[in-house]
Structure 1
């Protein structure tokens, strides 16, 4: 009795495709649960973050670790050039290459006050 040598490979391929299909469906089902956990954690972290932490996360790449300015302007002495209302407006609205919305709305006042004190 002759057996076709391709049958085991065909069975393995069919089982592999079935496994991939099953795992992708499982992943789609779990996606909403995982995304919900990450979003809550990220929002909680932003709400609890200090101005320094927000700066390190969102601003340091353009304004530098020592506020010296890299691709963005230097922030040393910004409180002498602008009042806190103008700083807050700039953070909130962005402009001139700076994206808006990097700081959560509930942290705008705190961030503007902190930035105005950088010497």
Structure 2
């Protein structure tokens, strides 16, 4: 009986001590949402993260450019490594509720969380 109790106790401990994902901080908030916005001139910006890749799309009229690739992130900056252009793009960011401010080379844009459809 004692062995069964110890075994059950160990199983319960292992169950409650299992691995968890870190869901705190701005980086998690940024990567767990899709972001979209329309700028003053009518251009559209969208940003999303899937697995290990990031995709930033800029659209103005008929012109569209997409920067996508592997990314690295910390609590204030992320870098997209784009293989197509053989270049990396570094963005500072600030998440404030449903708003995201992206800073690239001193120029800022503000976009919002994309509503689920």
Q: Is the helix fraction higher in 1 or 2?
A: 1
TM range (shorter): under 0.3
Larger RCO (CA within 8 A; separation ≥ 6):
1
Task: Please say which structure displays the higher CA radius of gyration.
Answer: 1
**TM-score between both structures, scaled by the size of structure 1:** 0.28
Q: Is the strand fraction higher in 1 or 2?
A: 2
**TM-score between both structures, scaled by the size of structure 2:** 0.28
